[in-house]
């Protein structure tokens, strides 16, 4: 056990040194990722779950800096699995952060159903934890945006009803109104109104690049439908 801890710490130090180095060839983040992975594995073998989890989070960030999104998502899952084995409250929060990253990556790769399931599950769990309640409407907003990307108006309407029942305060939030208004524009296939709704929301609550990307996909799908109908008339 102590041997694994020693090796884990040794690989961690080497990884930190690699991150601080300057590399002419290759990527220092790729090299560091390999060392962080070894460190995390030895922490796991030593049953030091918190440390293993934290190393997997760092490993995920390294993969992101190298634009290896799939590997980053896998590292997040590994981190979450490690955090499941500890009762530390902070570790529980970190596990959710890892799952949220997986959801984000999944949506970017158009795996919307997987992302929706993660966002909805975390929203349900957060309702029962005082420190996490504030984030529920954000998780439901993200789940709703993924629903919009799927383009199924009935599914979107059903999802909004579920979210109302899940969190009785959600229907009074700007996030709910935003999703409901967007759903209406999709049903009406009105690109101009869709753009107006997005701009109005963004003028008060700045949309981050991830949300902007998803909304752009929805808009492009709407425009494609509009062109298709014009061709038929």
pLDDT classification of 101: cutoffs 50, 70, 90: confident
pLDDT classification of 164: cutoffs 50, 70, 90: very high
Q: Which two tokens stand for residue 167?
A: 């969190």
Going from the N-terminus, what domains does the chain have, and what CATH number goes with each?
Answer: 1-87 (no CATH), 110-233 (1.25.40.10)
Instruction: Name the DSSP letter for residue 207.
Output: P
Instruction: Name the DSSP letter for residue 52.
Output: H
pLDDT of residue 233: 56
Q: What is the pTM of this model?
A: 0.75
Q: How far apart are CA 90 and CA 108, in angstroms?
A: 27
Residue 89 has pLDDT above 80, yes or no: no
Q: How far apart are CA 225 and CA 89, in angstroms?
A: 48
């Amino acid at each position: 056990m102590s041997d694994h801890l020693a090796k884990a710490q040794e690989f961690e130090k080497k990884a930190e040194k690699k991150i601080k180095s300057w590399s002419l060839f290759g990527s220092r983040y790729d090299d560091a990722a390999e060392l962080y992975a070894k460190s995390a594995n030895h922490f796991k073998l030593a049953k030091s779950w918190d440390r293993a989890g934290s190393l997997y989070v760092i490993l995920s960030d390294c993969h992101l800096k190298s634009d290896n999104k799939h590997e980053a998502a896998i590292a997040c899952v590994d981190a979450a699995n490690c955090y499941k084995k500890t009762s530390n409250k902070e570790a529980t929060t970190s596990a959710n952060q890892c799952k949220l990253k997986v959801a984000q990556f999944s949506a970017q790769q158009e795996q919307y159903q997987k992302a929706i399931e993660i966002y909805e599950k975390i929203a349900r769990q957060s309702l029962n934890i005082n420190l996490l309640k504030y984030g529920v409407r954000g998780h439901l907003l993200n789940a709703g945006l993924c629903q919009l990307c799927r383009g199924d108006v009935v599914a979107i309407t059903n999802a909004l009803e579920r979210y109302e029942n899940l969190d009785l305060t959600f229907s009074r939030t700007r996030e709910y109104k935003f999703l409901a208004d967007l759903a209406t524009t999709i049903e009406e296939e009105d690109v101009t109104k869709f753009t107006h709704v997005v701009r109005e929301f963004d003028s008060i609550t700045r949309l981050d690049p991830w949300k902007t990307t998803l909304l752009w996909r929805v808009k492009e799908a709407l425009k494609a439908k509009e062109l298709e109908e014009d061709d038929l008339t």
